[in-house]
Structure 1
Amino acid sequence: MAVYKILVLFLSCLLWQTSHADTFYPADNGYFQYVGRIDFSTPATPRFWASGVYVTARFKGPRCEIVLNDEMLYGTNHNYVSIIIDNKAPVRQQLLGKSDTIRLHQGLGEGPHTIVICKNTEAGIGYMEFAGLRCQELLPLPVSPVRKIEFIGNSITCGSGSDQASVPCGQGQWYDQHNAWKSYGPLTARQLNAQWQLSSVSGIGLVQSCCGMPHTMPKVFDKVNMYRDSIPWDFANYQPDVVAVTLGENDGPQDSARFCQAYVTFLKRLRTYYPAATIVCIDSPMADPAFSPILQRYITAVVAAMQDKKVSKYFYSRKYQSGCGGHPDLAQHQLMANELTAYIKKIKHW
């Protein structure tokens, strides 16, 4: 038995020595596709904070290695990623150190293969950097989906508290249940064959944020790192066809005139960034019975005040609160995505 184990170990080492003879393609290679708010000031290590930022690549060969850097905020936080190969079931993995090499080879044939790396955790957990990919050959990607959607919101949009597969609610760190890949936004976009961008931070509001978040969405919306209100974002980088806004849960009941005016002002600002976009104002799927009708009245008044045929409202058919802290769980994110997919199909004729 001992000889057998040594032989298996030897063969495994031999396999990965062979992989190291493959070519390393740094992150600034033009064959990588990036979607999301990303800081490219250091092209060799693009840096991103937001949930749902994703990198796509196509490669040839039976194996690959991904190299990712983790800020390890406060020396303890470790980001989660989802890795998807050839549209198969995602592998959700937590990074372990400042630099991680993730080796993928099980069940891979010669290809070609398409791989997607998606940041599952949000800005408050710290940044990630994509350093590159090692494989036999990096290939050009097919044409990206033409449709684009941006989802603006709070912890719901981040996918917070949704995934209890590895760490149950109430255990581990507060971010251990984050899963942006399986949150309603990316699910909706994939069902519509669209790209997505999540512009969201836990605790954020329109006029009042909660849970230690010092900024409001109007203040930080033009930043790459919305959590820290830093690094200007160029809106020319991503022009969505649809903008879905889910805000108000963290504001709670407010002076209606103040809240509605702030919402209208924010939507008019969105219109300057996205002149042709369809904007959908969505209620909170986790609002309590007292606040839900109040928020819906606010949104109804805001949409009416806009007098813009491309601004509409959508209210979920029910509440989705089975995840950690009353957030939607993974199954409910799918139900939310199904609702939004049907609504966007209807108004966009997609």
Structure 2
Amino acid sequence: MRTLLTGLSAAVLLQGALAQDVSRVAAEPAGLKPLASSVNGRVVAQPDGMLLRQWPGTYAEAAFQGDEVYFRVGAGDVSLRVSVDGEAAVPLVKPAAGLYRVANFKRGGAHLLRVAVASESQGGATGFGGFLIGATAQPAPLPRRSRQIEFIGDSHTVGYGNTSATRQCSQADVWATTDTTRGVAALVAAHYGADYQANAISGRGVVRNFDGYKADTLPEAYPFALFDKSRKADDAGWQPRVIAIALGTNDFSTPLRTGEPWATREQLRAAYEATYARFADALHRRHPAAYIVLWIAAGDGAEVRSEVERVAEQVRRSGNPRIGFVPVAGLSMSGCDWHPSVADDRQIADALIQHLDKQRDVWAAAAR
């Protein structure tokens, strides 16, 4: 959803001469006032004004005129990227709850501040408390993006360990090197000047999670704002013109275990195809104007590649011609645990962009 607000101690890792400085404020300055903002991603508002979020890729933006701006971080481990006017982002890793000041950016004119979540939060929700400005600053108009893209998937959509220099990673390494802001969703959305959601969970599948792990599959978790399923997602106002889905790697990447619901791979494939097709059909009914593209990072002959292609064809035969299939082969898979690297993410994004550019009327109802 795109939520309007009336108004994130770990180290702030500054890399070189970045254009802005982010620091925690011990005592709140007098006279701060709320700054209107937009939040993209599924959130649950709390009585104290804090927003809880858990799906990856959440980002908040505020526009202002002035030399400094503030934002609040709530509880929970999170890795943020803070940028002003599209300059190189400052990483803010596991920040303590509290108030943060952004300053030392280019002076003059209106500015756009973005605070984006880079990390995955399967272990629990994290909080964001909005933006504030002082008496010498003024609000400015927020950008109005008419295009919206939704990405649904697993670790390949999350950006699991995509910045890692090695495939061998501990769980801590995975968390630290995951960066959704440099992943497929962010790259494609930036190309089209679109807002985006990344509704993905690493390790989850359509009917079977990685190695038979017992937890909600992605379609089971999808309807909810948080992973505890305490509240349905409020997607009012969210009308994506493109829905890009990448699911199946976890369903098929490991052998079936004794006791799983499917005695054979044939039974697993049949369940996968039927469930995935129903999921895609439900998304089509909810967003009838959206073009759906099923993509998968897999080479020729891979079981999952054939299965995703079969699902796309089933959906097409059921009466929805606005569906595409994009396989992406030749990736280095040099991220953590043989996952796509940031270079691979760029290759996947380029393949999706090339495919979308060939489709007629994808953005017909969206102002250019």
Q: Name the TM-score, length of structure 1 as normaliser.
A: 0.83
Q: How many pairs are equivalent? A: 322
Contact 2:299 2:330 in 1 (8 A): no
1:147 matched to 2:147? The reply is yes
After the TM superposition, list the runs of 4 or more consecutive aligned residues in structure 1 that deviate by more than 3 angstroms. Answer: 16-19, 171-174, 286-307
Unaligned ranges ≥5, structure 2? 1-24, 253-264, 364-368
Alignment CA distance shift 1:34-1:336 (3 Å): same
Deviation at 1:334, TM superposition (A): 1.7
1:127-151: CA deviations, max 9, x gaps? 2222132333341434421011000
- Correspondence for 2:352: 340
Contact 2:248 2:308 in 1 (8 A): no
Deviation at 1:236, TM superposition (A): 2.5
Contact 1:19 1:64 in 2 (8 A): no
Deviation at 1:312, TM superposition (A): 1.7
- Cα distance in 1 for partners of 2:56, 2:119 equals 5
Contact 1:163 1:330 in 2 (8 A): yes
- Correspondence for 1:83: 82
- Correspondence for 1:214: 215
- Map residues 13-52 of structure 1 onto 2, 5 A cutoff: 20-21=29-30, 23-25=32-34, 31-42=36-47, 44-52=49-57
1:261 matched to 2:274? The reply is yes
Deviation at 1:244, TM superposition (A): 0.6
Deviation at 1:307, TM superposition (A): 3.2
1:242 matched to 2:242? The reply is yes
- Cα distance in 1 for partners of 2:160, 2:214 equals 15
Equivalent position amino acid for 2:288 in 1: P
Across the aligned residues of Structure 1 and Structure 2, the Cα RMSD in angstroms comes to 2.7
1:31-80: CA deviations, max 9, x gaps? 21111111124371111111111111012222222211122xxxxxx210
Deviation at 1:83, TM superposition (A): 1.1
Give percent identity, aligned residues only.
22
Unaligned ranges ≥5, structure 1? 1-15, 72-77
Deviation at 1:181, TM superposition (A): 0.8
Which stretch shifts more, 239-248 or 140-149?
Answer: 140-149
Question: Any idea what SS the aligned residue of 1:129 has?
Answer: strand
- Cα distance in 2 for partners of 1:234, 1:207 equals 24
Question: Any idea what SS the aligned residue of 1:224 has?
Answer: coil
Equivalent position amino acid for 1:247 in 2: L
Alignment CA distance shift 1:59-1:317 (3 Å): same
- Cα distance in 1 for partners of 2:294, 2:175 equals 27
Contact 1:264 1:306 in 2 (8 A): no
1:148-195: CA deviations, max 9, x gaps? 100000111111111237x99525343111111111111101101111
Question: Any idea what SS the aligned residue of 2:283 has?
Answer: helix
1:241-289: CA deviations, max 9, x gaps? 0101100011106633221111111111112211211111112x26796
Which stretch shifts more, 269-278 or 207-216?
Answer: 207-216
- Correspondence for 2:327: 315
Deviation at 1:95, TM superposition (A): 2.2
- Cα distance in 2 for partners of 1:348, 1:47 equals 38
Deviation at 1:238, TM superposition (A): 0.9
Alignment CA distance shift 1:269-1:292 (3 Å): closer
Alignment CA distance shift 1:187-1:138 (3 Å): farther
Question: Any idea what SS the aligned residue of 1:176 has?
Answer: helix
Alignment CA distance shift 1:217-1:79 (3 Å): same
- Map residues 260-299 of structure 1 onto 2, 5 A cutoff: 260-283=273-296, 285=297, 290-299=302-311
1:304-340: CA deviations, max 9, x gaps? 4433111121112433511111111112212211221
- Map residues 217-232 of structure 1 onto 2, 5 A cutoff: 217-225=218-226, 227-232=227-232
Which stretch shifts more, 34-43 or 201-210?
Answer: 34-43
- Map residues 120-159 of structure 1 onto 2, 5 A cutoff: 120-136=118-134, 137-159=137-159
Q: Name the TM-score, length of structure 2 as normaliser.
A: 0.79
- Correspondence for 2:5: none
- Map residues 110-121 of structure 1 onto 2, 5 A cutoff: 110-121=108-119
Contact 1:204 1:213 in 2 (8 A): no
- Correspondence for 1:12: none
Question: Any idea what SS the aligned residue of 2:67 has?
Answer: strand
